[in-house]
Amino acid sequence: MMRDKKRYILAASSRPIHEADRKRFEAELYSAMMQQLGEAEYFKANPKVIKFSGKERFVLKVMHERYEQSIVALTFIKTISGKPIGLYTLKSSGTIMAVQK
Amino acid sequence: MPFYDLAHQTALHGYLWKQLGFKKIGVAESHVKISLPGSKNIAGSICVGPSGEHLNAAAKQSPRAIIINDSRIDRKLLDTMKAKNVILCIPFDRILGSVGLRRSSAIYMTSRLVQYAIKREIRVAFVSFAGSEEMLCSPVQLIELAKLLGAKEEYARNAVSVTNWELIA
């Protein structure tokens, strides 16, 4: 079986994500991304937050073939938990090491 | 490649914009004047208005760029812009500030305008024109949004770098 190529996106949030809120933020982010991508595309993009770094940054893993759509979806998300938010794509790479540098 | 953007002062009160990766974010009304069709001294400013006779007249006065509010394709206006070397400025605030069908409609209208302008070899600038921190975009996001509207990767990169610089310089 061939391994799927992945892409790692370093994203930042306009408001801090506190440690206690991370699980909830993740769930709401997936839900918002599904709304933007549609169910079929969401399944193909398969986004997963794999790491939080500091209060505002996180690394999102997506499938390589839906990487561009995932960036557009992140850009379109303007509210999470009913509060306004801006999500910015700072960097992307094929390896998690490179994206964290 | 250095990237540039244009936003309102209200979007830049925090510190986050410094981390987005732009070399400079120009401030509307500070680095570049925003004018309405029919106002005096349009030359060198960014003229914002709906397509029509007023905007056609404004285009003849050599503004730096034009933002077509309703995103309609006005062939006469675009011909004048090409002749006068006026940049077509595409702000993403209307796309990002709306949701659902309104956003979908805005994307459709803007993409038709962008594709027509690119075909006619009119220079296009893609800016966030953000009024709040949430509406700001990183260079990667500006490029992806430009691609969504029909620009090719190379064209989008060049627009966010060179054409945006000409807009705010």
Query: SS3 for B83-145, per residue?
Result: HHCCEEEEECHHHHCCCHHHHHHHHHHHHHHHHHHHHCCCCEEEECCCCCHHHCCCHHHHHHH
Contacts of B31 (CB under 8 A, 6+ apart): B6, B168
The mean pLDDT value for B72-88 works out to 95
Least confident window among B15-24, B89-98, B99-108: B15-24
- Residue A29 belongs to some domain of the structure: yes
User: How far is residue A60's CA from residue A52's CA, in Å, rounded to a whole number?
Assistant: 9
Residue owning tokens 């190379």: B154
Binned at pLDDT 50, 70 and 90, residue A10 comes out as very high
Residue B158 has pLDDT above 90, yes or no: yes
Residues A38-75 have pLDDT tens digits of: 999 999 999 999 999 988 999 999 999 999 999 999 99
Residue A98 lies in a domain: no
Q: How many domains does chain A have?
A: 1
- Contact of A92 with chain B, judged by CB distance below 8 Å, is answered with yes
Q: Specify the 3-state DSSP secondary structure of B28.
A: strand
pLDDT of residue A30: 96
What's residue B103's pLDDT? 95
Structural domain includes residue A99: no
The predicted structure's pLDDT at residue B22: 93
Check: CB of residue B126 under 8 Å from CB of residue B50: no
CB of B20 less than 8 A from some CB of A: yes
What average pLDDT does chain B have? 93
In a domain, A66, yes or no: yes
The whole model's pTM is what? Answer: 0.94
Q: Is B111 within 8 Å of chain A by CB? A: no
Split at pLDDT 50, 70, 90, the class of A4 is confident
Chain A closest-CA separation from residue B42 CA (Å): 33
- Assess if residue A1 is contained within a domain: no
Contact between chains at B138 and A86 (C-beta distance less than 8 A): no
> CATH code at A21?
3.30.70.3250
Residue A61 domain flag: yes
Q: How many residues does chain A have?
A: 101
End-to-end alpha carbon distance in chain A = 31
DSSP label at A3? Answer: P
Q: Which residue has the higher pLDDT, B5 or A1?
A: B5
Taking CA–CA distances from A91, the nearest residue in chain B reads B140
| pLDDT greater at residue B3 or residue A2 | B3
Assess contact for A70 and A9: CB atoms under 8 A.
yes
Q: Cα separation of B30 and B135, whole Å? A: 19
Residue B14 has pLDDT above 80, yes or no: no
Pick among B17, B20, B141, B152 to test the A interface (most A CBs inside 10 A): B141
DSSP letter at B78?
H
Element (H, E) at A75: helix A67-76
Q: What is the DSSP letter of B13?
A: S
Query: For residue A17, what are the domain limits?
Result: 6-92
Residue A101 is assigned to a structural domain of this protein? no
pLDDT at A33: 96
Answer whether A72 sits within 8 Å of B148, measured CB to CB: yes
